Structure 1
Amino acid sequence: QISAMAVSKYENGKATPSSTVLLSLADALNVRVEYFLRPEHVELEMQGYRKHHTAPNRLLDRIKADVKEKLERFLELEAVLPVLPVGEFRVPRALADRIDTYVDVERAAADLREAWGLGVNPIPELIDTCEEHGIRVFRTSIPHDEHFDGLAALVRGNPVIILGEDWPGDRQRFTLAHELGHLVLEGRLAKDLDMELAANRFAGAFLVPEQAARRALGDKRHWLEPRELWLLKQEYGLSMAGWLHRARDLGIIPDQTYKRLRQEFKARGWLKKEPFGDYPGEQPRVFEQLVYRALAEDLIGESKAAELMGKPLMQFHSECTA
């Protein structure tokens, strides 16, 4: 067991851990030993936790260490590339400077979609879309049960969003859209609006624009069938419960109908596990693509590529030649 005093000395450069200690630290944090030896070191400037803000500090420390290790590999790779294919994230200038109502939040989501050239159709790969616009997206494999529901951070001024690796795709997508809402609404939201409610409204509107929701459901409904909601979930990547919220927000169903449907979902356990099957999960692709690009252009060797990918050299080589 390593004392807190010893860890403090390692962090402050007053002592150097032995190889045995490095192995123990790597095991405790669930990272590779290379994490402690990388030339790039970053700090996560935390922007906030969504929903489960009472997650134990020990769990959050492990998640942050896991993400930092991934980030440092990303930055090490970026350092060898002459030109980065992905630019910095910027909130489009077309967005309103002040957002006074939740209807204005809807407009902000629509304006961002327009600025990104997304139209009103479903977004097939939301992680890809965010990465293309300068948002680093990482998934953590640290076991977290229900104590962790995503977090956002800044690294050297660039936004980073962390998702759970084992989450179903609709949960990944809503969390990502919610945190995107925070980035867009920050500094624009009227004081009498609740930021979390606004970010939720933004997420729903970004995933399913009003025009698309009315096209799918109609302008007025008195009931929604669960199987109908599941089919829409498969099309848009928004959960069945998310569709209920969307229909209520837009006045498609009255509040009474929303409450009855929520009660039915709760009674059947669907608020925790929705029926008929999950929406498939997504995964970041930019980093892996850049590794193979650097390898193809002889900017790194195969052993370095394997290290950056966090894989044994033989495994990486077999995957390259398969």
Structure 2
Amino acid sequence: MELRQLEYFVTVAEEANFTRAAARVHISQSGVSAQVKALEHELGAELFDRSGRIARLTEAGAAALPYAQAALDAAADLRQAIDEVKGLVRGQLTIGMVTGCEVTPLFAGIAAFHEEHPAIEIELTEADSRHLVSQIRTGLVDIALVGVAGEPPEHLACHVIARERLVALFRPGETATDHLPLADLMAYPLVTLPEGTGIRAVLDEACVAAGFVPDVALAASAPGTVAELASRGLGVAVLSESMASEFPHLSAVAIDDVQSRALLALVWRPRTSPALAALLPHLRHAFAVDNDDPVDNRKR
């Protein structure tokens, strides 16, 4: 018998349908059916009851299923063991990043990793930081670049890229000071990043702690858009220090009594797969190389 016959048998058992199983393994239904029939012929017993619309396991099929799955698992373990000896890694990684991510070291690290380990499939997913942290916890995402307020998420491994203060950005002549208390900032309509980003979380938490309700006039998903809206008089922008440096046509004003910092960080579950373990050094190296200017013009 062949491994592919066992794979098709297990897939049909899981889907309870030959058509769905064929779509899952990306071959024709007739091909799946022929391979399962060949396996049945070799075993001398029918594995499925095909009399109805649902492919039901026969008594022989139910008895064979755990052994077929064990054989497939053993084959995967064997392949991984040999790949590791040869210095290769197989598998799949799902990497999360904030929607509209502009953090170029992340892309550089992924590219270097892919060049060294082309057998690993990489999937990128975008969401807000809060959602990405939740997906890390549930295992839907392997590692994510997120922005959070104050401290890294609990019970997750973390590599902090940057910790930054918030600043307010005014149009020239709109303010004569280089710092102001949060209470004074509340007198202005604000333009911010959306909820679920680290910078917005720092602002919202500071306002809640002080008993303020900020007047968020507009929220935009990219720092450049936030700054552009502010420059057109639609509100005062709230961004991080490094982001603010990208918009010298606006006046950056420190917010005195916001002590919490916006963190940009890589987060992942402490127990890593071989593929993730291979990726981490590439990401750390990419961010270390970019350390002279790690966060300019980046949303988190």
TM over 0.5: same fold? no
- With the length of structure 1 as denominator, give the TM-score of the two structures: 0.24
Larger fraction in strand: 2
Q: Greater relative contact order: 1 or 2 (C-alpha under 8 angstroms, separation 6 or more)?
A: 2
- With the length of structure 2 as denominator, give the TM-score of the two structures: 0.26
Larger fraction in helix: 1
Higher gyration radius (CA): 2
